[in-house]
Amino acid sequence: MAELLKLSKLNLVRLSTYTTRAPRPSDPYDRLHHRFVTEKKFFALKRRGFFLETKKLRHAWYGSPIRDIERLLDTGKNVISDVDPQRIKKIRRRLPGMVAIFVDAPNSFLRKRLVERGESGKEIGGRLSTAARERRFKKYYDKVFTNDEGRLEEVVAEIAKYLKNRLE
């Protein structure tokens, strides 16, 4: 996602999501991509219809704020976000003009990236199980791309070309 955001011709902006997890001290971008709130605050926002969608991943909740999406779209930006594939059909009903892409990766590549991030064996197993479940929803996306080791630039170029054609 970070590489796509660098392509100014696509006018992309990343949506900051809300989460109940603690910030990762090892990730310098964590506070740019997430707004950290308590569970009490999160569920208060959820009850008020603040989120387009919410999901629980492992031990934390995540939510995409609908007003932020609408505000960004109103300013002419193209919003990019990582949403729960199990919720893609619901999201499409609320945002019918959206372009949905699914970026997949082989388990071997996912495992390597998670090990490099310092994730525990249990976390890695959980993430790989989640990836397997998410793959079942690929059919609901407009396009699927596969990111494998050593292909980042190529995949970013493929996605950029696809988005450019869809957004024109």
Mean pLDDT computed over every residue of the chain: 88
CA triple 161-164-168, angle to 5 deg: 150
The structural domains of the chain, ordered by start, are 2-167 (3.40.50.300)
- The helix-helix angle for 107-116 and 121-135 (nearest 10°) equals 140
Pairing of strands 51-57, 60-65: antiparallel
Question: pLDDT-based confidence at 153, cuts 50/70/90?
Answer: confident
CB-CB contact of 72 with 79 (8 Å): yes
Question: pLDDT-based confidence at 117, cuts 50/70/90?
Answer: confident
Q: Is the torsion defined by CA of 147, 3, 140, 67 positive or negative?
A: positive
Question: pLDDT-based confidence at 33, cuts 50/70/90?
Answer: confident
pLDDT of residue 62: 92
The pLDDT tens digits of the residues spanning 76-101 come to 988 888 887 888 888 888 888 899 99
- At 61, the amino acid letter reads W
pLDDT of residue 7: 67
Tokens of 63: 């939510």
